[in-house]
Structure 1
Amino acid sequence: MARTTSSSYVIVPRAPDRRPAFRVAILLGWVLSLGLAWMAASWYVAPRLPGLSASLETTRTQLQQAQAQVRALGQRQATLKRSDQISRAANHQVQQELAERDQQIADLKANLAFYERLAGATRKPKGLSVHSAEFVPEAGGTWHYELMLTQSLNRGAVSTGQLRFVVEGVRDGKLATVDWNRLHQRDDAPAQAYSFRYFQQLRGSVMLPEGFVPQRVRVSLRGENASLDQAVAWVQPSGTGDT
């Protein structure tokens, strides 16, 4: 009698692999989406590209124009600033010149008034002379002097020459004289030049010895057309102290 053999293995038919088909479907879908996107861009965006390009070019042109205007305005501002500085400097210089001219006019008027008093119709014309001499103490022990020289005899003629003076006074109870060199604290001190038509005021500073009391000034004028030796009193303007 034949025996029937049993087995624990079961034969199952293999199902087909669907993964390649799924991958193909995904790829097709991606390609389709790209096509749709390109079609949408061509339909919606492409017609507007010329207008956008024109707008971009217009914007660039406007930007360049604006930048050029900014540069021009900056240059104009710099020019105006420099012009204003020049105008201010010129105005300041004009004001200074006007002030100097006003001072010159005032000095000339004062000089004219002085000369009119000096050479009035009732006064007799005089040759070269020392009209006045004043001394004012300065800091450091020096004395500032102002000598007024005049002449009204030769109207229109110019008097030129050299001036020196000595100071006479008292020191230690004895008469004493301080010469030109000692007054200037140097050997061979140069004379002071003068040149004028009607009058001139000469100024300078001198030093007196300690303990010396000045009393008068002996002025020596040496010129081409006239020479003069004249003594005048030592005069201090009021309010400068006693000597």
Structure 2
Amino acid sequence: MNHRPPSRVQIRLPGHAAPGPRRPWLLVAVGVAVLLLVGLLGFWLGRPGGEVGDTLQGTQKRADALQQELVELRQRQATLEASDRISRAANNEVQASLAERDEEIAGLRADVAFYERLVGATSQRKGLNTHSIEFRSEAAGTYQYTVVLTQNLNRGAISQGQMRFTVEGVKNGRLATVSWDDLHQRSKVPGQEYSFRYFQQLSGSVILPSDFTPQRVKVTLGSGTGGSTQVFDWKQAGAPATNGE
């Protein structure tokens, strides 16, 4: 039997290189290098001194500053709102006070004009005086009276005391007087208090007997027995005639 040596002739196709020996250590080296590069890149990106780290730190500082500014602005807004409420409340109080003062001034001006009409500059100076008394009949059978007291002798002085009046007339064909108590249908009725510097207006209601015809009114000012008295005609007092008068 003949043994032929193995043939060393190899057939190579066009375009194919001859296969070389396998090198697995090269793949391992490449993988390690890639891992090292990834680790270095991550370390470089994450370290504080890096560009990205500086950017992150700057952004965080800016966010903290904006948050603090937002808190301060909110506190300032709350302070301004509270101040605005206080200002509006104070303004309302001032407006109300001004309205009251305007009303008071208007009342004082009206009083001065009324007083000037009562006692003009050419009028004779008088002490405590009953300037006028008027009566108006009411639906209930009563009479509402209005008495105006004045004084222009002692300017600035305060006149104080009590006012009473009685009504004289005719009852059952005879002269009669209706006292202050009878006018109020009570006993021991105190006089009407007055206290003024230049003038004062007093008012109230009284009752006259149904069978009484008034003719005159006597007004007494002072403490009572020692006061001054002035007499007014009933017709001049402005009341309508009663009982056919």
Quickly name the TM-score band, shorter chain normalised.
Answer: 0.5 to 0.7
Does the CA contact (< 8 Å) of 1:146 and 1:201 recur in 2?
no
What stretches of structure 1 of length at least 5 have no aligned partner?
1-31
State how far apart, in whole Å, the 2-side matches of 1:175 and 1:37 are. Answer: 135
Q: Please give the secondary structure, in 1, of the residue aligned with 2:98.
A: helix
What's the CA shift for 1:148? 2.6
Letter in 2 for 1:204: S
State how far apart, in whole Å, the 2-side matches of 1:143 and 1:42 are. Answer: 110
Letter in 1 for 2:204: S
Give the 3 Å change call, closer, same or farther, for CA 49–213 of structure 1 in structure 2: farther
Residues 1:230 and 2:231 are matched in the alignment: yes
Matched with 1:58 is: 62
State how far apart, in whole Å, the 2-side matches of 1:137 and 1:38 are. Answer: 115
What's the CA shift for 1:75? 0.1
Matched with 2:42 is: 41
State how far apart, in whole Å, the 1-side matches of 2:241 and 2:38 are. Answer: 115
Matched with 2:187 is: 187
Which of the residues 111, 114, 124 maps onto 1:110?
114
State how far apart, in whole Å, the 2-side matches of 1:102 and 1:160 are. Answer: 25
The one-character-per-residue Cα deviations of 1:143-177 (angstroms, maximum 9, x if unpaired) are 4321133567x565765443211234567887664
Matched with 1:205 is: 204
Letter in 2 for 1:87: N
Residues 1:148 and 2:148 are matched in the alignment: yes
Matched with 1:97 is: 101
Residues 1:162 and 2:166 are matched in the alignment: no
Letter in 2 for 1:189: V
What's the CA shift for 1:134? 0.8
What's the CA shift for 1:139? 7.0
Does the CA contact (< 8 Å) of 2:164 and 2:180 recur in 1?
yes
Letter in 1 for 2:58: A
Letter in 2 for 1:233: W
What's the CA shift for 1:63? 0.7
State how far apart, in whole Å, the 2-side matches of 1:37 and 1:187 are. Answer: 119
* Length, aligned pairs only: 204
Matched with 2:17 is: none
Does the CA contact (< 8 Å) of 1:133 and 1:232 recur in 2?
no
What stretches of structure 2 of length at least 5 have no aligned partner?
1-32
State how far apart, in whole Å, the 2-side matches of 1:91 and 1:65 are. Answer: 38
Does the CA contact (< 8 Å) of 1:220 and 1:229 recur in 2?
yes
What's the CA shift for 1:40? 5.2
State TM-score, norm by structure 1: 0.62
Aligned identity (percent) is 29
Which of the residues 45, 70, 73 maps onto 2:74?
70
Q: Please give the secondary structure, in 2, of the residue aligned with 1:57.
A: helix
Does the CA contact (< 8 Å) of 1:130 and 1:147 recur in 2?
yes
What's the CA shift for 1:56? 1.3
State how far apart, in whole Å, the 1-side matches of 2:233 and 2:121 are. Answer: 20
The one-character-per-residue Cα deviations of 1:17-57 (angstroms, maximum 9, x if unpaired) are xxxxxxxxxxxxxxx99988755533545542342133112
RMSD: 4.1
Matched with 1:20 is: none
What's the CA shift for 1:107? 1.5
Letter in 2 for 1:65: E
What's the CA shift for 1:141? 5.5
